[in-house]
Structure 1
Amino acid sequence: MTSTSEELFDFIAAPLKVFVGKGDNVSELSKLGKRELGFTFSFPVKQISFSSGLLIKWTKGFAIEDTVGRDVSQCLQHALSRRDLDIQVTALINDTVGTLALGHYHDEDTLVAVIIGTGTNACYLEKADAIIKSQGLLTTSRDMVVNVEWGNFWSSHLPRTSYDIDLDAESPNPNDLGFEKMISGMYLGDIVRRVILRMSQELDVFGPDSSKLHVPFILRTPLMAAMHEDESPDLREVSRVLKDILEIPDVPLNIRKLIIKVCDIVTCRTARLAAAGIVGILKKIGRDGSCGVAGGKARPKVGSQIKMKRTVVAIEGGLYTKYTLFREYLNEAMAQILGEDVAPYVIIKVTEDGSGIGAALLAASRSASSVVDAVL
């Protein structure tokens, strides 16, 4: 993560060679000729073509300066060549686009894909002539995938609290990824920790101040979820997390119940914000029951007939798949925002390994007939 570009991509290419070697007889592999590889690279890039992109900046703790500004597909391609692998990088995507590809492969009505895990992002299928930025580009495609990068979304209407503001200010990337810091698994546990810290300072409900409470990100979101979903009569899991992780022993039952309430409020807000983001995309493509696309006519009156098309939203990420209450809150919010006439036409489907299978599908479709535009 902090080495050189060559070492990083060699690190990727080495196990790939082992993997290919296990699955093929060497003589058989030579008959097949060059193979196509889909490369999922979930960092900000300037996409130059379907198979190449320049790294804009690293995130998630990576800091390999000599890669910035370079074509990451070429970097991997050189590493493959150094290991005599006759493999061509033919598709460069991120995990959100891979999720859309996988969802669309299984169900052609899949038009939106969302990642809600440690980080968060979304993408959707848009009419090419509706994308102002791409006007003038040579393309035969009627549709194009738009990678929203909604983690960077910001608006004065977002309900930021003092806990959100403090978390952002003390993070390694202040004033960046504002929406992600309110809805992704990387940050939810720390929001709860900050609330508990303030409770301990102002209400004196935990006894002596715990030094662990002052440690950023010590309360990870899976631990927060475990407390939130604790259904034992004496809330044993809440007590365990407070004692073992935050070093707050002997917390009374009524305070443990209060901790669950804090987790519930944070989770509910997160789920509803994520749901609003999804509905915002549906509105943009005219799939929210409105008359026309965003900026069009007003929503039909209650009781009027709405001609709706079925729309599938592919979702991947542990926050949605493993956190039951989060999932319930998000689905509930989607139904409330869309309304009873529209909600049945919007189906959420969970995908698995869009990063891997989705990239492979795109590479395969590119290889088979060069009609990836038709697949997406």
Structure 2
Amino acid sequence: MINKQYDVSCGARAGAGAGAGAKAVYSFQHKTKKVVLCCDVKMGKVAVGAAVVCAAACAAAAMVVRRRTKGSGKWGRAEALVRELEEQCGTPIAKLRQVADAMEVEMHAGLASQAPTRLQMLITFVHNLPSGDEKGLYYALDLGGTNFRTLRVHLGGKEKGVVKLESEEVSIPPQLMTGSSQELFDFIAAQLAKFVSSEPEELHPPPGRQRELGFTFSFPVKQTSIASGNLIKWTKGFNIEDVVGQDVVGELTKALQRIGLDMRVAALVNDTVGTVARARFSDQDVIAGVILGTGTNAAYVESAHAIPKWQGLLPKSGEMVINMEWGNFSSSHLPLTEYDQALDADSLNPGEQIFEKIISGMYLGDIVRRVLLKMAEEADFFGDTVPPKLRIPFILRTPDMSKMHHDTTPDLKEVGKKLKDILEINNTSLKMRKIVVEVCEIVAARGARLSAAGVFGILKKIGRDKVKAGEKQKSVVALDGGLFEHYTKFRSSLESTIKVLLGDEAAETVSIEHFNDGSGIGAALLAASNSHYLGLQES
């Protein structure tokens, strides 16, 4: 345990021309709960009164001991740690504005530079977003991890919207995740063909018309067109070397050809871009999409003229969807704590994805665990010994944190149950449970308010943070992800913070709306809006 040591010095006149000083040093030992005092006397020419001086020093030291250790028992030390956390996680509006300003600066830098920047600001080649008029049958393939989904989406235009949605989920055999490119894509193509075979006869495409597919590929890709992109690296347990550097659409297309499935990949998309498309189909005022789930990211609609690094012809629409990869945002204005620094140091990517590590569902629960662990170590918060389970990284998940945070029972029964079931901490008192809830509140509020600052940064970048004279242009930000959808207090905090940042007048023009399944429905919609058969969609 950490011992705290304090010095208290005092001096006293001990006769004419004589000086004496004394220093009393005390050490408060947390483990033994004892105070150790030591008196050090320094005398001048005359030693008279040295004893009085030492006594005064010791008295002063004792007074500081009483003052500083008054609350140093379990509750006092725990409360002190919570107050310290609250101070370090502070997100006053002035700080949030600084974060938003820093976000805007990084956005400009990423749009201008071909070299890597903190915010990559990736050009997606998506400039034909859904108009709402799309009709017909389109497919989507959502490959984001150890499972993938196949979807069949029947669109009915503005009047009917999404008429019908069918989907299947398939687990990828572990050996295919580290095998060859052909083995993986042949398996995916075979499953897709099986799904297509169940297509109702009345929805079959006319002779000579290919089926079209939106391909959500949630791995780092350098996009080269709306329907092509080279894999930068695998993540999430995949390691197939012969795909790295290759066009993933090309690999899938070859596999489709090998089994005779006549299907064209019309759009290669990121799930955040898909969220923008999914929302734009329903509401033409959508200007951005944000994912707040296990991870986090944002995409938004930028003016093509405002992208200095864009080398191609300006699109007819005059706009381009930009994938920010905002999880990697970092700034000196972010309120980071020792717990965040330790989590980052222990992660697989130290120094990267800092924004993601303080606002997303992957990490919030573990930040709470780290705070509780320190309380257990320094304040014996859960008893004389530290609960062993509390030392296990990520054992406390954000959904569990949310359950505790939302507990409304008089005795905080759910908090006690979670502590018992997950951390094997029994017989917790109501006072203890209240402190745990307070820790959840502090960590969640910081994440939500910083997320709001990020959204505000996007609105500032495209000039939607203020009401223009004579007009009130509506702006809709589409939100998706389990954290936003299910963590009610997180969501409420985010929404209320954005309103404060905008001010009353501008807040009336900006709305936050939940749209789900951008990685599925959004991909199919992008296949439709980038179809070879635009204008020929069937009803």
Instruction: State TM-score, norm by structure 2.
Output: 0.64
User: Residues 167 and 306 (structure 1 numbering): CA distance in 2 closer, same or farther, change over 3 Å?
Assistant: farther
Give the one of 225, 228, 231 matched to 1:55: 231
Matched residue count? 357
- Structure-1 residue corresponding to 2:210: 34
Aligned to 2:396: 219
Specify the SS of the correspondent of 2:230. strand
Tell whether 2:346 aligns with 1:182.
no
Are 1:106 and 2:282 counterparts? yes
Moved more, 17-26 or 66-75: 17-26
Q: Map 1:182-331 onto structure 2 (within 5 A).
A: 182-207=358-383, 208-289=385-466, 307-331=471-495
Q: Is the 8 A contact 1:289 1:308 kept in 2?
A: no
Q: Which residue of 2 aligns with 1:68?
A: 244
The separation in 2 between residues aligned to 1:239 and 1:353, in whole angstroms, is 34
Q: How does 1:119-198 map to 2 (within 5 A)?
A: 119-134=295-310, 136-141=311-316, 142-198=318-374
Could you tell me which amino acid in structure 2 is paired with residue 225 of structure 1?
S
* Structure 2: distance between partners of 1:306 and 1:193: 51
CA RMSD of aligned residues (A): 1.9
Q: How does 1:338-353 map to 2 (within 5 A)?
A: 338-353=502-517
Residues 13-35 of structure 1: CA deviation (Å, up to 9, x unaligned): 23211211111449956836421
Deviation string for 1:295-336 (max 9, x for gaps)?
A: xxxxxxxxxx67431100011101011111011000011011
TM-fit CA distance, 1:62: 3.1
TM-aligned CA deviation for residue 84 of structure 1: 1.7
The question of whether the paired residues in 2 share the 8 Å contact of 1:287 and 1:308 is answered with no
Q: Is the aligned partner of 1:8 residue 2:8?
A: no
CA contact (8 A) 2:205 2:211 kept: no
TM-superposed CA distance for 1:137, in Å, is 1.5
| Structure 1 residue 7 displacement after superposition | 3.0
Comparing both structures, which one devotes a greater share of its residues to helix?
1
Identity percentage over the alignment?
56
Larger strand share, 1 or 2: 2
Q: State whether residues 103 and 314 of structure 1, in contact with CA within 8 Å, keep that contact through their aligned partners in structure 2.
A: yes
C-alpha distance in 2 between matches for 1:19 and 1:184: 34
Higher CA-based Rg: 2
Contact 2:361 2:483 in 1 (8 A): yes
Structure 2 unmatched runs, 5+: 1-176
Separation in structure 2 between the aligned mates of residue 164 and residue 256 of structure 1, nearest angstrom: 23
User: 1:75-124 deviations in whole A, cap 9, x for unaligned?
Assistant: 21122222221111110010011110111111110011101101110011
Partner secondary structure for residue 341 of structure 1: helix
Distance of 1:253 and 1:235 partners within structure 2: 7
For residue 57 of structure 1, report the CA deviation from its aligned partner.
Answer: 1.8
SS of the residue aligned with 2:530?
helix
2:377 and 2:531 map into 1 onto residues whose CA distance is 61
**Is contact 1:309-1:345 (8 Å) kept?**
yes
Deviations 1:324-366 (A, max 9, x none): 1011000011011111111111011111211111111111122
- In 2, are the aligned partners of 1:283 and 1:290 still within 8 Å (CA)? no
Indicate conservation of the 8 Å contact 1:289/1:306, yes or no: no
The amino acid that maps onto 1:274 is S
Residue equivalent to 1:44? 220
Q: Report the more deviating stretch, 12-21 or 103-112.
A: 12-21
CA–CA distance in 1 between the matches of 2:252 and 2:439? 45
Q: Quick one: distance in 2 between partners of 1:238 and 1:120?
A: 27
- Return the offset for 1:3: 3.5
For the residue of structure 1 that corresponds to 2:426, the secondary structure is coil
Distance in 1, Cα, partners of 2:210 & 2:525: 17
* 1:365 correspondence with 2:529: yes
Question: How big is each residue's C-alpha offset from its partner over 1:233-273, in whole Å with a ceiling of 9 and x where there is no partner?
Answer: 11111111111111111111101110000000000000001
Distance 1:313 1:26, change over 3 A: closer
Gaps of 5+ in 1: 292-304, 372-376
The counterpart of 2:255, out of the listed 79, 97, 114, is: 79
Pair 75,199 (structure 1): closer, same or farther in 2 beyond 3 Å: same
Q: Secondary structure at the match of 2:257?
A: helix
